[in-house]
């Protein structure tokens, strides 16, 4: 039966899969400069010195930020993600179910809903989908010195 013993499946612990021809390697992503994006109400646009309090987001270049020890998916209290910014200064937690509830929303709707209760400088990380949502505390347009760890897959040949 496909769903037998799957009571522990969650956004943080995906459905187990045994990939015998795949090896994982931890990669360091460092010195990424990330351009913040904001909503023009009809599309996302590059932040061009938007005002404080504007809701912004950015998507990491690589997937699934790992925890500080590189064993599992990151979280608010255990993440390898770091960056320098005066725009986004304080990470806050949101339940995983909040992001699951956004699955049927557009990215613009999600940005509005996720940031609606944030104060200036606060941000939320969707570690599963590698997106950061925040409300700006300064007119800075980028996050600099962004660094994090990811797993990459090495496919091995089978004969």
Question: What is the average per-residue pLDDT within 21-46?
Answer: 83
Mean pLDDT over the full length of the chain: 82
Question: Phi/psi of residue 28, each to 5°?
Answer: -90, 125
Residue 104 binned pLDDT confidence (cut-offs 50, 70, 90): confident
Q: How remote is the C-alpha of 152 from its chain's centroid?
A: 16
For residue 5, what are the contacts with CB-CB under 8 A and spacing of at least 6?
Answer: none
Does residue 2 surpass a pLDDT of 60? no
């Amino acid at each position: 039966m496909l769903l037998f013993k799957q009571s522990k499946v969650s956004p943080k612990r995906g459905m187990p899969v045994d990939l015998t021809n795949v090896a994982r390697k931890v990669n360091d992503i460092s010195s990424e400069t990330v351009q913040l994006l904001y909503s023009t109400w009809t599309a996302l646009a590059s932040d061009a010195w938007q005002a404080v309090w504007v809701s912004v987001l950015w998507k990491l270049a690589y997937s699934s930020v790992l925890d500080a020890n590189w064993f599992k998916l990151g979280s608010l209290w255990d993440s390898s993600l770091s960056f320098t910014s005066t725009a986004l200064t304080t990470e806050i937690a949101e339940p995983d179910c909040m992001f699951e509830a956004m699955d049927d929303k557009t990215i613009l709707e999600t940005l509005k809903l996720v940031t609606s209760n944030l104060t200036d400088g606060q941000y939320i990380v969707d570690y599963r989908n590698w997106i950061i949502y925040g409300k700006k505390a300064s007119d800075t347009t980028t996050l600099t010195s962004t660094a994090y760890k990811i797993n990459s897959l090495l496919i091995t040949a089978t004969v």
